[in-house]
Amino acid sequence: MKLFFTLLLLSLPIDALFSQVNPELKKSVAFVFQKNKNDSIVAIGTGFFVGVRNEVDSSRLHVYFVTAKHVIRDSNKKFFNQIFLRMNTRTGVATTYPISLFSSGVPIFTISQDTTVDIAVLTILPNIQKFDFLCIPAEMIASRDIIQKKTNPRRG
C-alpha cells in the first residue's frame, strides 16, 4: 500500500502537489543541495525560513532557515562545511546560494541535544534585494503542547 501511494505521488505533476498551497507560503521554502563526488550539486532536502520578532524592537526580525539535522550531515553524521540553497531571485530565475555552515570554526546552526529531534536551525539572511523569499512568522509554528492537544483531544 505504501508503494502504491509513493508511485501515485510520483506520477502527479509537481503543480498538482502544490496547487492548494498559498503562493506566498511557497516563497518560504528552499531546496537544499550538496556537492557530490563529481563536484555537481544534488538535492538533499528542503527547509523553510522563519522570522522571529525582536523582543526589544518589534520592527526588527531575526531570520532563520529550518531544516532537518540529517540534511546538513553526511552518512557518517559529520556536518558539511557548506550547503547550497536553491532560491528564486527577484527577477524570477532560480539559482543556488552557497551557505557556509561554519564561521571561523563556529557553527552557524543550532541543533537539539535530544537525539530523537531531527532539526537544525541556521542563522542566515539571504540578500533581500536579490532573492524573492518570505519568512513564516514564528507564531504560526505549533508548539509540542499544541500538537499533542490536537492529536490527543482528551489531553486538552
Q: Residue 57 is part of which domain span?
A: 28-151
Q: Does 98 map to a domain?
A: yes
User: Does some domain include residue 118?
Assistant: yes
Residue 7 has pLDDT above 50, yes or no: no
Number of compact structural domains in the chain: 1
Confidence of residue 5 (pLDDT cuts 50, 70, 90): very low
> Is residue 129, in this structure, part of any structural domain at all?
yes
109 burial (CB, 10 Å; 0-12 / 13-18 / 19+) is: buried
CATH of the domain at 84: 2.40.10
**Predicted confidence (pLDDT) per residue in 10-43, tens digit:** 444 445 444 566 777 788 899 999 998 898 999 9
Q: What is the pTM of this model?
A: 0.77
| pLDDT in the model for residue 138 | 80
The answer to whether residues 139 and 51 touch, using CB atoms and an 8 Å cutoff, is no
Helices (H) and strands (E) in the chain, counts: 4, 10
Write the CB contacts of 129 (distance below 8 Å, at least 6 apart in sequence).
Answer: 90
Distance CA(152)–CA(156), nearest Å, equals 8
What pLDDT band is residue 59 in, cutting at 50, 70 and 90?
confident
Looking at the DSSP assignment, which residues form a beta bridge with residue 97?
85
| 66 part of a folded domain | yes
Name the band, by pLDDT with cuts 50, 70 and 90, for residue 153: low
Please check whether residue 90 is in contact with residue 132, taking contact to mean a CB–CB distance below 8 angstroms: yes
Q: What is the pLDDT of residues 89-134, one digit of tens each?
A: 999 999 999 999 999 999 999 998 898 999 999 999 999 999 999 8
What region does 105 belong to: left with phi over 0, alpha with psi -120 to 50, or beta?
left
Q: How far is CA 44 from the centre of its chain?
A: 11
Q: Which residues pair with 42 in a beta bridge?
A: 34
